[in-house]
Chain A
Amino acid sequence: MLGGLALFFYFIVQNMLANMEARGITTGFAFLSEKAGFGILQSLIPYSEESTYGRTFIVGLLNTLLVSGLGILFASLLGFLIGVARLSKNWLVSRMAGVYIETFRNIPLLLQIFFWYFAVIRPLPSPRQSLSLGDWVFLNVRGLYLPMPELESSFGIMLAALAVAIVLVFFLRRWAIKRHYETGKTFPLLLTSIIILIGIPLLAYLLSGGSIAWDKPSLQGFNFQGGITVIPELLALLLALTIYTAAFIAETVRAGILAVSHGQTEAALALGLSHGQTLRMVIIPQAMRVIIPPLTSQYLNLVKNSSLATAIGYPDIVSVFMGTTLNQTGQAVEIIAMTMAVYLTISLLISAFMNWYNHKMALVER
Chain B
Amino acid sequence: MNETNRNTANDDYIVSMRNVNKWFGNFHVLKDINLNVKKGERIVICGPSGSGKSTVIRCINHLEEHQEGEIIVDGIEVGNDVKLIHQVRREVGMCFQHFNLFPHLTILDNLTLAPIWVRNMPKKEAEEIAMKYLERVRIPEQASKYPGQLSGGQQQRVAIARSLCMNPKVMLFDEPTSALDPEMISEVLDVMVELAEGGMTMICVTHEMGFAKRVADRVIFMDAGQIIEENEPQAFFNNPQSERTKLFLSQIIQH
B148 touches A (CB below 8 Å): yes
Is A273 an interface position by the 8 A CB rule?
yes
A/B pair count, beta carbons within 8 Å = 87
Collect the chain A residues with CB atoms within 8 Å of residue B90's CB: 272
Contact for A363 among B96, B103, B122, B162, CB less than 8 A: B103
By the criterion CB–CB under 8 Å, are B122 and A264 in contact?
Answer: no
Q: Is the interface of A mostly helix, strand, loop or mixed?
A: helix
Contact A267 B100 (CB under 8 A): yes
User: Within the assembled complex, what's the spacing in Å between the Cα atoms of A182 and B121?
Assistant: 8
Query: A28-36, A88-96, A278-286: which lies at the B interface?
Result: A278-286
- In the complex, the chain B residue whose C-beta lies closest to that of A186 is B120
Contacts of B131 in A (CB 8 A): none
Contact with B along A237-272 (1 / 0, CB 8 A): 000000000000000000000000101101111111
B55 to chain A, nearest CB (A): 13
Chain B's interface size range is: 35 or more
Flag whether A185 is at the interface (Cβ < 8 A): yes
B118 touches A273 (CB 8 A): yes
Q: How far is the CB of A93 from chain B (nearest CB, A)?
A: 22
Within 8 A of A (CB), among B93-111: 93-94, 96, 98, 100-104
Residues of A within 8 A of B89 (CB): 269-272
A364 beta carbon closer than 8 Å to chain B? yes
Chain A residues in 8 Å Cβ range of B177: none
**A365–B146 CA distance with the chains assembled, in angstroms:** 7
A residues whose Cβ falls under 8 Å from a Cβ of B: 180-186, 261, 263-264, 266-274, 277, 281-282, 285-286, 289, 363-366
A to B CB contacts below 8 Å, 27 in the list: A180-B116, A180-B123, A181-B122, A182-B124, A184-B122, A261-B100, A263-B96, A263-B100, A266-B63, A266-B100, A267-B94, A267-B101, A269-B63, A269-B89, A270-B63, A270-B93, A270-B94, A271-B89, A272-B86, A272-B118, A272-B119, A273-B118, A277-B117, A363-B146, A363-B148, A364-B145, A366-B148
Closest 8 CB pairs of A and B: A365-B148, A267-B100, A181-B123, A271-B114, A364-B146, A263-B100, A270-B94, A272-B90
